[in-house]
Amino acid sequence: MKIFAPAKVNFGLKIVNKRSDGYHNIDTIMQSLDLYDELWLEKKDADIELSGMDNLSLEDNLIYKAWKKVCLKLNKNLGVRIKINKKIPMAAGLAGGSSDAAMAIRGLNEMYGLELSKSDMADILKGIGADLPFCIYTGTYRAGGIGERLKKLKNPNFNILLLNPGYEVSTKSAYENLEGVFEKSRMDDLEKALLNRDFKLLKESMANDLETYVLRMHPDLSQIKERMRAYKGISLLSGSGPTVFGIYEDEVSLNAAYTDLKRDYKLVFKTRTIDEI
């Protein structure tokens, strides 16, 4: 079985507060894109076998963590062999690992006839990562709590440019170094801007509470944001970064920005927002 795991960006990310269990409550709008990892699944007698991500130990892989939670919940050993072709940069703020895990579980659900709904799968996987429940659904969603409260939104049909500078940023470090972020959220305005494709309001309301620390640690990302804006793009750090994305009203501007940035960076992608899959 071959399945595709889409990348995501955060149009906005608000850290609401820190919980007593150490997790953070968030308010965010997440969007799937037409940039995909490829996964091949086949049944085996028992246990899980992964290939294609040799830089991670099995126990550190989100696919393994998700598989283990499902097996424990169902009291079954769902034997599976998974081969991964990574096209989404890792540790990049694009949810590549979460999307791989979510789609692997959706594939497992279909392959074994488990008859789990998306809601069932999202509930089992919550707590592994804030974006994992969203990655089960895909599309355009506003997420609250620790990512488990989801509200479906309309796909804004945007042209989006992604640029990954080629290094990794620790999500844990970004959350541990939050700087003065617990002020009022603009997420309601952002939701309205997306619904109406209001680019003026979009520019005013797009914000990411993790951005201040990450940009201070990596000043080159601020320069990338400015270069995207030079071609009429609205730019923001996605998640904990280091990927920066730009939203463009037309493909002419997108292509101009792509041509310029591709001269200096290898990992530049022209993408579009996608509906739920």
What are phi and psi for residue 86, nearest 5 degrees?
A: -80, 120
Active site residues: 8, 131
Contact 230, 253 (CB under 8 A): no
Tokens standing for 70? Answer: 């499902």
What's the CA angle centered on 238, arms 234 and 240, to 5 degrees? 145
How far is Cα 82 from Cα 92, in angstroms, rounded to an integer?
Answer: 22
How far is Cα 136 from Cα 104, in angstroms, rounded to an integer?
Answer: 10
Contact 126, 148 (CB under 8 A): yes
